[in-house]
Structure 1
Amino acid sequence: MSSDDSPLDNARHLRYWQRCLRTLLPHQYTANDSTRMMLGCFCVAATDVLSTQKGAEPVISARDRKAFRAWVLACQHPGGGFVGGPTHAYPRAVYAGFDFGGGSVDTGAPGEANIAATLFALQLLALLANPADGERSEDKKSEDQKREGAFLGVNRDATLRWLRRLQRPDGSFGEYVADVPDARAAGGRRPVVGGGADMRYCYIAAMIRWMLGGGVDTSVPDINVDALVLYMRRGQTYDGGFAESSTHESHAGYAFCAIAALELLGRPAEGDPATALSSSENGRDLFARGIADVPALLRWLAARTFLYRPEIEEDDDAEWQESIVTEVTPLEVCGNSPLLGFNGRCNKHADSCYTWWTVSSLNILERHGYGYGLKDKESKDNWAAKRRFLLEKMQHHIGGFSKVPGGPPDIYHAYLSLAALASQGESSLKAFDPAMSVSLDTVRTIEAARRGLLRGQGEGGQKRRANLLSLGKACWGETIAIKA
């Protein structure tokens, strides 16, 4: 879906992302030094979703892909999971003798893998294994083998055990596990789950579990899915939205995280999500158990849409007023060529990332059978007004997208704006999976990489793992530090 009067300039955006990958970021990113894995993932994922021109020179060369892959694997923590950057874990020699699996008290202070970095690391490994359009081989078997080696070097069992340790008794997930001094505990130390308790970590946990095949084999304990679903259900508030708890303020980002997590918890391991989910009884059951009031949630999401009026937005002294425009308001009410923006909370200004959170939430709900039943023309006209808002007010002249009209582009809002456009079928972008927040091409790589990992489980697994190790060295080069 596209519009001639509001084009998406792919070439300009690719140049923006190349600058982000190859040069020093502006000083404003200094505070994000601990989240390098996230920044890297967004940059590579953006180039992936923009790279649709057949035969074009790859944005990321094969040499750089190998170097990026080595950097990601260097951030893997021996106790499971990944850290946000190479400086967030101790040198390998420090971990000699640590018993991460047993969780004994002599583990000391091992540095901290965190749940967000682990997700972005796994997605990066899959993105880097995607065959570039300019490097695609005629031998499909060779491409499939490279995809299957994407997670080579990932300690699946340790990561899934670590993920299990992040879950609290109430079903929520934390960000990291740390040992803290406690004179009353055996050995003088005890483990604690750190970080907040909200829908973001629930969503990330569901993503990691699906990517690594959690719950597939009994050798690794699965997370408590029932407790997680119940925790998310308790996060729906009086107005229909989702928050950290029922007594907190609703937020579109939290709503998306809860909705996408429920889909992933019930998603089959293989197959096109758009067709496999609508007939999945398990998926429908999880939505029924995880969302107390679906109609109220739909109404709340619809109310995030409002008519953008520049004369009000650009006057700092003007009182903020929400419009009556909602997801189902006929465009005749809005006038000619309206711009429809989104806010993520009541009485907030338009923000580009809220287009993603809200539109993707509605996309996922609709493909599970929950929607407004809009006619095809109504749906297209409605999205066209939202698309114009992104491309006319948020698309920056140097590439990327800004948070608000007139602002500078940034990595976070630039990627989520592309994601919103791709999830709605933008013709110049790759097909997109809203629940996984990456292209469908990357989801296929994740599925293949999971198959490669699971071949190492059970009888005969060691031999298959050795074969996969040899394959990985052939794909990525002998200089890459990988383990069976």
Structure 2
Amino acid sequence: MSSCNEKNSFSSANTQTEDVKVFDRDKTIGYFKRCLEFLPKPYESSDTHRMTLAFYSLSGLDLLGVLETEFTQERINNWIDWIYAQQILPDENNPELNERICGFRGSPFSGLPYNPNGCRASRLPFDASNLAMTYTALTSLLILGDDLSRVDKSAIINAMKYLQKDDGSFTQTYQGMESDMRFVYCACAISYMLNDFSGINIDKVVQYIKESQSYDYGIGQGPGLESHGGSTFCAIASLYLLNKLDEGLLSKDKTIFWLISRQESGFQGRANKPPDTCYSFWIGASLMILDSFEFIDYDQNYNFLMTTRSFGGFSKWPGSYPDVMHTYMGVAGLSLMEESKKLDPALNISLKARKNLLKCVFKSE
């Protein structure tokens, strides 16, 4: 790992100009720590997604290698308990919803009492687990070193059966309205982390991904939709986790070409759009899964990311205010280039967290 006072290991003297910033790890560490304590007022509308906001900071600190040194074990244990308090467990007094709503919610927004052992009663009619929140809950637990022993794995797997639609896509929550590639990825990642794919129809997932590939061989959120860097990652990572890459991609080489074509300085998410910090991960991770990451211009990507830094965080574009999501994606993009700790590109967690998964779930060292 390079020091913040040294030139990046892949930035040559010929391309590193004097006005390009060098990644300041200490300021970014401070930014993530502040985001774990409080967030600005505009984040109030995202309170139901607090689980994911916490994941960005926890995983960012993990990738920077400082999670255990910056916080006491007591603090880490408190976060673990808070995550488990958002778990909706089977309720024998409510059999109609018993198999449909289990998993993790994003926060205690519904006013349920705090219980580090999880909740067995849904107090409000629409209180249910959320696929994205379940994904970030599990990844955060692994990042924090938890062994997932309090996770009701079978309840989560059974609940996913009610979230998959006939076309193969998934809704994010029971009786939800949205269904697209994002939640396909969450379902596949959850199944992988719990080592149980019985909750999803794999053939329908693969078919949905095939039908979502566009004429340019990028992948949209669903059939007939525009190719997009985020949904392309979700599809490629899902196929990888399902061990269906060769079957699911219509043309691996042409998809790689579409991905590589998204780089200007940084990476854009769609054709004819400006570069955006988060796509350094979405596109970069996709290329890494496809064993083609070496084709990117490392220096251009690094230099673009440095132009989006301010106040310790990363913003969407140069000149904008930083936010916790783009700060995490910026660090994840740098991690792919080994500026911070390496990460697993398909699960979007550090290799340390993945090692914890292998030990706790797969019983492998």
* TM-score range normalised by the length of the shorter chain: 0.7 to 0.9
Aligned-CA RMSD value:
2.5
1:13 aligns with 2:28: yes
Distance of aligned partners of 1:245 and 1:346 in 2 relative to their CA distance in 1, 3 Å threshold: same
Q: Which residue of 2 aligns with 1:433?
A: 344
Identity %: 33
Shift of 1:200: 0.7
Aligned counterpart for 2:277 among listed residues 337, 352, 367: 352
CA distance in 1, matches of 2:281, 2:274: 15
* CA offsets 1:120-143 (integer angstroms, 9 cap, x no match): 1111111111xxxxxxxxxxxxxx
- Other-structure match for 1:65: 76
1:39 is the counterpart of 2:36 = no
Output the amino acid matched with 1:436. L
In structure 2, the residue corresponding to 1:352 is in which secondary structure? coil
Per-residue deviation at 1:403?
Answer: 0.6
SS in 2 for 1:304: coil
Structure-1 separation of matches of 2:233 and 2:144: 26
Amino acid at match of 1:364: I
> Does the aligned pair in 2 maintain the 1:241–1:300 contact within 8 Å?
yes
Structure 2 counterpart of 1:475:
none
Alignment of 1:19-30 (within 5 A): 19-22=34-37, 24-30=38-44
Letter in 2 for 1:157: S
CA deviations over 1:242-294 (Å, ceiling 9, x no partner): 1123321111111011001111112xxxxxxxxxxxxxxxxxxx122211122
2:245 pairs, out of 284, 287, 303, with: 287
Instruction: Report what 2:96 is aligned to.
Output: none
Residue aligned with 2:314, SS = coil
Distance 1:119 1:89, change over 3 A: farther
Written as runs of structure 1 = structure 2, the 5 A alignment for 1:86-165 is 86-88=108-110, 90=112, 109=125, 111-129=127-145, 150-165=147-162
Q: Say if 2:86 and 2:119, in contact at 8 Å, map to a contact too.
A: no
Question: Where does residue 450 of structure 1 map in the other structure?
Answer: 361
**DSSP-derived class of the 1:167 partner:** coil
The question of whether the paired residues in 2 share the 8 Å contact of 1:89 and 1:112 is answered with no
5+ residue gaps in structure 1? 99-106, 130-148, 178-191, 216-220, 267-285, 307-339, 455-484
From 82, 98, 103, give the equivalent of 2:104: 82
Larger radius of gyration, structure 1 or 2? 1
User: For 1:95 and 1:422, how far apart are their aligned partners in 2?
Assistant: 39
Answer whether contact 1:237 1:248 (CA < 8 A) is retained. Answer: yes
- Cα distance change of structure 1 residues 110 and 388 upon mapping to structure 2, 3 Å threshold: closer
Partner SS state of residue 206, structure 2: helix
Aligned to 2:309: 395
Separation in structure 1 between the aligned mates of residue 288 and residue 165 of structure 2, nearest angstrom: 30
Q: Give the match's secondary structure for 2:87.
A: coil
C-alpha contact 1:235 1:246 (8 A) present in aligned 2: yes
| TM-score, length basis structure 1 | 0.65
1:30-83, Cα deviation, whole Å (9 max, x unpaired): 11111000001111111111126xxx9711211111111111000001142000
CA distance in 2 between counterparts of 1:109 and 1:95 reads 14
Distance 1:408 1:110, change over 3 A: closer
CA distance in 1, matches of 2:167, 2:28: 43
In structure 2, the gaps of 5 or more residues are 1-8, 91-101
Residue aligned with 1:305, SS: coil
Shift of 1:2: 4.4
- On the 8 A contact 1:243/1:250 being kept in 2, the answer is yes
Q: Give the match's secondary structure for 1:33.
A: helix
- In 2, the alpha carbon distance for the partners of 1:108 and 1:41 equals 26
Equivalent residue number for residue 469 of structure 1: none
2:71 counterpart letter in structure 1: I
When normalised by structure 2's length, the TM-score is 0.85
Partner of 2:95: none
